[in-house]
Every structure is written in C-alpha cells, then in structure tokens.
Amino acid sequence: MNYGLIVANVLIFFLTFYPHKDPLTGPQILRSWALQFELNADRPYLWQFVSYAFLHGGFMHIIGNMFFLYLFGNNVNDKVGNIGYLCFYLAGSVFSGIGHTWVSGGDVIGASGAVAAVTGAYLVLFPQTLITVLYWFFFIGMIEVPALYFILLKMIIIDNVIARYTPQVAYDAHLAGYAYGVAAMLAMLSVGLISSNNFDLFAMIRQWNRRRRYRDAVSSGFDPYTGRTENKRIRVKEVKKSPAEQQKDEKSKELRNEINKRITERNLPAATGLYLELMSHDSHQVLPKQHLLDIANQLAGDNKPAESAQAYEQFLTHYSNYEYAEQVELMLGILYCRYLNKPELAKKYLEAAAEKLTDPGQLKMCNDELARLK
C-alpha cells in the first residue's frame, strides 16, 4: 500500500503540475481543472481535505515528500496492514488539513501533513531504530541516531517549531500530522488493535518505569533479592586470584563497560562487535537481559545466524522467565531451520514456541516452519 500511495502521488503530480501564468489570476503551478482540489481554508469542501494531499508544487516538493514516505512508511504499513495503513494515511491528510485551516489559513497542497502522520506513527512504533544521517559541517560524515531523537528533535521541534523561516511551508499542517500520528498509534497500542512488542514507545516507558521503581526501592534500603530493608552483614572468606585471572577479569569488566556505553548511545553495531569480543575472551559472561536481547536481534539483522543463535541460547538459559520467551524461541527455530541446517534444534524451539504464541502472524510463521521441516 505504501508503494501504491507513492505511485499515486507521482502520477497525479505529472497530471496536475503545470507552471504557467493565468491571465486572470496570475502565476499558477497547477492546471486550471486541478485548482478545485486544493484545500481552500476560507471555504473548504469536504473532499479537499483528502485531495490536496495528492497535489504538489514542484519537483523538490514531490521528491522530498515521497522520500520520507518511503523511508518511514514501509515499516508502519507492515505493522498495521494494507487497509489500515491506507485509512491511517488518508486520516492523516484530513487531520493535518484541519490543523492548517484552524491555525494558519490560506490555500495548501502537498502530502507533507499525511507523511508527518506516518512519521509520528514510526516514532511510536520504532523509537529505538537507528537512522543513518549524513551531515556536513567543515567535513562530511555519517552518524546513527535513534529514530526517537531524530524525529522528535530534528523533524518536529527544530524544523517545525524553531526554524519556521521558509515561506509557503505549512508548518502547522506538519505539526497537526505529527500529533495525529503519535496519538493514533498510542491509542491503537493501548486498546490492543496493534500488538505491542519490546521495542515500541510503550515498552520504553514500561522499562523506564521499572528502572525508576527499582532505583526508588534500592535507595530506600530495600534489597529486592532478599526482601529485607537492611542488608544482613555476613563474613566472607577472601579468595585471592592469580595475576592471569585478575587480568582476565579486568578485561571482561572493561569490555562490559564499553558495551554498556555503546548501548546507552544506541550504537548497537559497535556494542555487538564488543559483545563478540567478550564472548571470545570469556564465554561465561552474561549481559543484562535487555542488552543481551538487543544484541541478539542486531546479530540476526546483520546476517550472522550462528552468533545470533548463540546469543539467543544464552538469553533463554539465563532469562527463561522472560515474558516473551516464545518469540525468542521462534527466532531460534527459524535460525536453526533456515540458516544453520539443524532440524532437530529447530523443531525443539518451534514446537515450544507454538504452544505459547498468541499473535496470529507469528503463530502462522511458526507452523509454516514446522511444516517445512516435515
């Protein structure tokens, strides 16, 4: 559906874009018959709240909008389905048009409001995804930025709140689109129309709240492992380690600190490389639950099935009570079935996942893999 919307926008652009000078109205960028489809803020017709989003005022206008629709739209489309995505996109054009007419006024064209709605949805659904940004300031380089910060700080606050300098740009339509996209996705997640996972904005908020409660409990003297409010003094016998063991422990500690630093910076590729180094140095080291899961997912995304399977195995060994363990088992089953040619292990994990999966799409995927093994 996202590709279909891009094609529709491009085709309509070539049908309607025609820079010329009208004898009565002066310079125009649209063909005369297309003017009725602009959103006229003074006397709008209902259809104009949708039709204006398929009109564009120049090649840079259409290219910019379609680039960001392609960048953010495909994943949102996958999450909500084709029909849901089409309805969401059209509703985004309606709400951004309402925001523009209510706040700014004046005629408006362009898909940027609907694209802003899609971008806002991406912020909620995939806030931890790393976006590669090209920059130039005395020198050219690239940096990976989490989608949450790139969209919130750069695209919303800087581009549409602070730097409102470019004339003929419907900033308020953009802001209305972002607001609609964020609010609509949060609402759908909260009522269960879209299944939540460990990577969306809700999961980040839940994780932050768990950490906050843990810090509050520990700071008050509560020991979460024993249930005591005061630490019990015990005597331990000091075990002296050899210089080689001490050196090994220091190296492991250094690598763990570096991994934690990279994950805090949301630089998962660098953290993954350090994790592999840690495993080759001391395979008994275990990272915190979310860090280990993020790295296992990154390894799977980097097309390293053997290393990814090892990380998932380690995760299940040490965090077997994880609330979404069946999804990890499904991933392990797919890795062993498709990439590592270990049918017995694949069957073991897929059958375990099939008993607990509730998401219809994931369950179908699991059953398809089991059928392939048979």
Would you say residue 212 lies in a domain?
Answer: no
Tens digit of pLDDT for each residue in 43-61? 889 999 999 999 999 999 9
Tens digit of pLDDT for each residue in 80-117? 999 999 999 999 999 999 999 999 888 999 999 999 99
Counting beta carbons within 10 angstroms of the beta carbon of residue 357, is it exposed (0 to 12), middle (13 to 18) or buried (19 or more)? buried
Would you say residue 328 lies in a domain?
Answer: no
Tens digit of pLDDT for each residue in 115-172? 999 999 999 999 988 888 888 877 788 888 888 889 999 899 998 999 888 888 999 9
Q: CB atoms < 10 A from the CB of 214, how many? A: 12
What's the rounded Cα separation, in Å, for the pair 350 and 332?
A: 8
Q: CB atoms < 10 A from the CB of 82, how many? A: 12
DSSP codes, 48-97: HHHHGGG--SSHHHHHHHHHHHHHHHHHHHHHH-HHHHHHHHHHHHHHHH
Average pLDDT value for the chain: 88
Would you say residue 169 lies in a domain?
Answer: yes
Structural domain harbouring 92 = 2-191
What's the rounded Cα separation, in Å, for the pair 62 and 301?
A: 31
Backbone phi, psi, residue 290, to 5°? -70, -35
pLDDT band for 310, please (50, 70, 90 cuts). very high
More confident residue, 308 or 42: 308
Would you say residue 362 lies in a domain?
Answer: no
Would you say residue 361 lies in a domain?
Answer: no
Backbone phi, psi, residue 133, to 5°? -115, 130
Query: Three-class SS of residue 141?
Result: strand
Residue 110 sits in a domain whose CATH number is 1.20.1540.10
Measure CA of the first residue to CA of the last residue in the chain; give whole Å.
Answer: 34
Q: How many domains does the chain have?
A: 1
- Indicate the pTM of the whole model: 0.61
Would you say residue 272 lies in a domain?
Answer: no
Q: State the pLDDT at residue 227.
A: 55
Q: Which amino acid is at 16?
A: T
